[in-house]
Amino acid sequence: MKLVSQSILAVLIGLFAFYDPQIGQRLDLPFFKNLVVNLGLFYILFVVIVIVGSSNAVNLTDGLDGLAVGCIIMVALTYSVFSYITGHTNISSYLQINYVPGSGELAVFCANIAGAALGFLWFNAYPAQVFMGDTGSLSLGGAVGIVAVLIKKELLLLLVGGIFVAEALSVILQVASFKLRKKRIFLVAPLHHHFQ
């Protein structure tokens, strides 16, 4: 049921982004100034993968004291800076980053996420007294994914949220290996449990 509700929300956001002329169906590649890929209708599927993937990747990472929330702080602060940059014409034109009107307001939202996560980290660090659970991790991951889509920095999430990507890939590889070869790659998945 969680995956269905995540997918419905992601499709709605994908449709909004697809029909919004400022966001459109283009995919901006980071570190390449003028390289843009037009995905057409596949952009909606791409948005669903980004939002549902980021939401569940954060959920998979939330198994070790302070790991998920510490990574969320870094990702939210990074997206706060990028939201501010893409929301201001002078800065975005100087840095040759696509301008997205109104995205500067998302900088405040991302800073709020980072601040709330920092307050939560105090109680979630080892030995944890409070746990985030599915409600916190799924919503924080979804929020970061939505911000990435709205400011056109979806692929940056792979770099900035590298821990989330590694955790999700470890689970995917472990399940695939066990189903196909009846052997495990890691002692335990997700990856942070393998190193404990």
Query: For the chain, first and last CA: distance in Å?
Result: 31
pLDDT in tens, 118-176: 999 999 888 888 888 889 999 999 999 999 999 999 999 999 999 999 988 988 888 88
Residue 121 and residue 76 in contact, taking contact as beta carbons nearer than 8 Å: no
User: In Å, what is the CA distance from 161 to each residue of 45, 67, 101?
Assistant: 20, 12, 25
Tell whether the model's pLDDT for residue 50 goes beyond 90. Answer: yes
pTM: 0.91
Q: What tokens appear for 154 in the block?
A: 């979806």
